[in-house]
Amino acid sequence: MNRLIAFGIGLFLFACSSEPAVVESTGGGEKDGVNIASAIQEVRTFEDSLKKSSATGSLEYSQETAVVYAEKCLAVAHRFPKSKDAAKYMDKAHIIFASANLHQRSVIIADSLILMYPMYKNRAMVLESLAGAYDVFVIPRQKDKVKKYYEMLLKENPKMPAEQRKQIEDRLEKVDLTFDEYVSKAN
């Protein structure tokens, strides 16, 4: 369970990072009077305001703030689905919703992400996130989705570290158990 919490925190920190984005589009570049550069700048401005508030200690992270942040990220992907940054911003939204315990919304976005962007560079992380979310957080638990995403992860990543592969294979062998049952039997 501690690994899941650490994984969630790591995903959230990844989502909050404001590394320079590649602003490139295969489409026309503008939609609804907004170009991709200004859409990305809107997200960055919001991230900067969150960081400033946090540095002064006045930010109380809430689900409402998370939803606003995630929706800004989704706006980039929805307005510019053919841009190089669309998948990255969908991924950010999925991570933000998960970190705010809005798991149903998170998995819907992640499901869409892997369908729309099969070559996304962080696909393995998204698949692992989906399997874990359906295993632990989405209620009712959907063991068929847990199995589906873990199997995809194994199939698509033949060079995965042996220890990680073994953990996933062990989980698949006992997929009928809830995560809590699985953990308690392992101890």
Q: For residue range 12-60, what is the model confidence (pLDDT) as tens digits? A: 434 444 343 333 334 445 555 569 999 999 999 988 888 887 766 554 5
Regarding whether 110 and 92 lie in a shared domain, the answer is yes
- Cβ(83)–Cβ(26) under 8 Å? yes
What pLDDT does 33 receive?
53
Provide the number of structural domains found in the chain.
2
Domain range holding 36?
A: 1-121
- Residue 48: which H helix or E strand, with range? helix 36-56
CA distance 50 to 59: 7
Regarding whether 170 and 82 lie in a shared domain, the answer is no
Regarding whether 59 and 88 lie in a shared domain, the answer is yes
Regarding whether 14 and 106 lie in a shared domain, the answer is yes
Average pLDDT value for residue range 164-178: 96
What pLDDT does 1 receive?
41
Model pTM score:
0.78
- Cβ(85)–Cβ(22) under 8 Å? yes
For residue 146, the one-letter residue type is: V
Q: Per DSSP, what are the bridge partners of residue 35?
A: 30
CA distance 93 to 97: 6
Domain end point (choices 86, 104, 121)? 121
CA distance 32 to 14: 29
What pLDDT does 77 receive?
96
What pLDDT does 55 receive?
67
CA angle 67, 70, 74 (to 5 degrees): 130
pLDDT tops 80 at residue 8:
no
Regarding whether 23 and 101 lie in a shared domain, the answer is yes
What pLDDT does 30 receive?
55
What pLDDT does 28 receive?
42
Q: What is the pLDDT of residues 65-114, one digit of tens each?
A: 999 999 999 999 999 999 999 999 999 999 999 999 999 999 999 999 99
H-helix segments, 57-133: 63-79, 86-99, 103-116, 123-132
Regarding whether 181 and 106 lie in a shared domain, the answer is no
Domain end point (choices 64, 89, 121)? 121
What pLDDT does 5 receive?
36
Q: Which residue has the higher pLDDT, 166 or 57?
A: 166
Regarding whether 172 and 108 lie in a shared domain, the answer is no
CA distance 81 to 112: 12
Regarding whether 70 and 27 lie in a shared domain, the answer is yes
Regarding whether 85 and 17 lie in a shared domain, the answer is yes
